[in-house]
Amino acid sequence: MAQLTYREAVSRGIAQEMRRDPSVVFLGEDVAGAGGVFKTTTGLLDEFGPVRVVDTPISEQAILGAAMGAAMTGIRPIAEIMFSDFFAVCWDMVVNEIAKARYMTDGQVDCPLVIRTGNGGSVRFGAQHSQSVENWAMAVPGIKVVAPATAHDVVGLMAAAVRDPDPVLFFEHKALYATKEDVADGEILEELGRARVRREGSDCTIVALALMVPRALEAAEQLASEGIDCTVIDLRSLIPLDTTTILDSVQTTSRLFTVEENPQACGWGAEVASIVANEAFWDLDGPVVRITTPHLPLPASDVLEDLAIPSAERIADTIRKALD
């Protein structure tokens, strides 16, 4: 057991899979000698060399084009898109090529690759480098969507993503890179599509993802001191989505709150709310409440960014008022 930052967990998860499987390679902008712009890949070049850890040109299309070609020929690439906002530059490659390769070849060609990226706000990078875009990916058939909230899950879900036969978009939250937790030694392997209940409670269910998980837990602790007992579910992945864990919890608590960093319109919480309304309507004692970022570009101002993105205080206040 060792204390590991979320940042260090990225390199540990990649290294674990590169040691296990010689077909795994890693490519991206400034990922080799520089160790990544967020220092998430330090040491990989030294251990695995320049053939398996490759610096690319500043071209998202080139990175994903090379990764897709490699994946189609038996290699298992991990490709980095530095900021998730930059998916807008190469989204055609993701949506129309990578996501549909197996379908359009009638299963003759697999595309087992992981695209990892820094996602989300709260680090003062402004409107073009702070978006939370996992809901973009959730809308595309043919790709899996993962967003870990803890260092342990970074390692275990990275392993699951690399071993999966389908393309996986792996969203690492930039504001979590410095967070720490104890992580077990040895190989760690988690399961895609399996949510984790981080806190058990009887009065309401809070469903959260990535940075919103620790904020939901903090809100739950605030509410516990007032006699409101919350379950907090860390979804961990959006595709596959663990609807069973959500529905089981709603049957117990009868109230559901989603906490989403993405803007409200077409956010992943709308899909969760729709599923619960269809499958557990009669278990609900009130409407599903979505706690989101407003539908606006994120400001660079620290005060305004903090107002836009759900905080523990806003989460607690919204739940408090809804249950009053």
Residues carrying CATH 3.40.50.920, the chain: 196-323
Residue 18 is predicted with a pLDDT of 98
Could you tell me whether strands 237-239 and 144-146 are parallel, antiparallel, or unpaired per DSSP bridges?
antiparallel
Give the single-character DSSP code of 4: E
CATH number among 1.10.10.10, 3.40.50.920, 3.40.50.300, 3.60.20.30, domain 196-323: 3.40.50.920
Residue 1 is predicted with a pLDDT of 85
Residue 83 is predicted with a pLDDT of 97
CA atoms within 13 A on the CB side of 272: 36
pLDDT band of residue 217 (cuts 50, 70, 90) is very high
Q: Could you list the active site residues?
A: 60, 129
Find all residues with CB under 8 Å of 36, minimum gap 6, and list them. 10, 28, 30, 42, 80
What's the whole-model pTM score?
Answer: 0.97
Rounded-to-5 percentages of helix, strand, coil across the chain? 40, 20, 35
CATH code, 2-183: 3.40.50.970
Residues carrying CATH 3.40.50.970, the chain: 2-183
Mean per-residue pLDDT, 180-201? 97
CB environment 43-65: b (16+ within 10 A), e (fewer): ebbeebeeebbbebeeebeebbb
Percent above pLDDT 90 for the chain? 99
pLDDT band of residue 324 (cuts 50, 70, 90) is confident
- Rounded Cα distance between 155 and 148, Å, is 9
- Rounded Cα distance between 219 and 235, Å, is 17
pLDDT digits (tens, 9 = 90+) for 28-38: 999 999 999 99
Mean per-residue pLDDT, 282-309? 96
Mean per-residue pLDDT, 79-103? 97
Mean per-residue pLDDT, 170-184? 97
